[in-house]
Amino acid sequence: MRVLGKTYTVSYLPPEDMEDAFGICTPSLQTIDIDKEQTVPEELDTFIHECLHAIVRGMRIEFPNYRAEEAVVDRFGAGLAALFLDNPELLKYFQRLVKEANNG
């Protein structure tokens, strides 16, 4: 997956390989690991959450500490997941805009 010019490898792993986390973003290795045994809504939240960590790193957004980054990423991840779940047609709209942007 591309995130701001970097290629991240996304892996779906069993919970025992996840260090007690639902997702792990490692920008230095350009990897995102996702616990493959979550519910669908949890997986959506986790996937967005880990992408937000990659974006934070890619845009060099600074936080006073990792805990502060985690608090912001956690809320935006949950908020965006809820937005997509509550508005399925939004993804079709994005898909159209992305298609037009890439063709134009």
- Of 17 and 74, nearer to Zn ion (C-beta) is 74
Q: Which amino acid is at 30?
A: Q
Residues facing residue 7 across a β-bridge: 2
Size of the site for Zn ion (CB under 5 A): 1
Q: DSSP string covering 32-72, please?
A: EEEETTS-HHHHHHHHHHHHHHHHHHHTT---SSHHHHHHH
- Of 17 and 70, nearer to Zn ion (C-beta) is 70
- Of 82 and 98, nearer to Zn ion (C-beta) is 82
Q: Minimum CB separation from Zn ion for residue 44, in Å? A: 15
Q: Minimum CB separation from Zn ion for residue 85, in Å? A: 20
Is-contact 23 7, C-beta < 8 A? no
Residues between 36 and 75 that touch Zn ion (CB under 5 A): 70
Nearest residue to Zn ion, by Cβ distance, number only: 70
Residues that bind Zn ion (CB under 5 A): 70
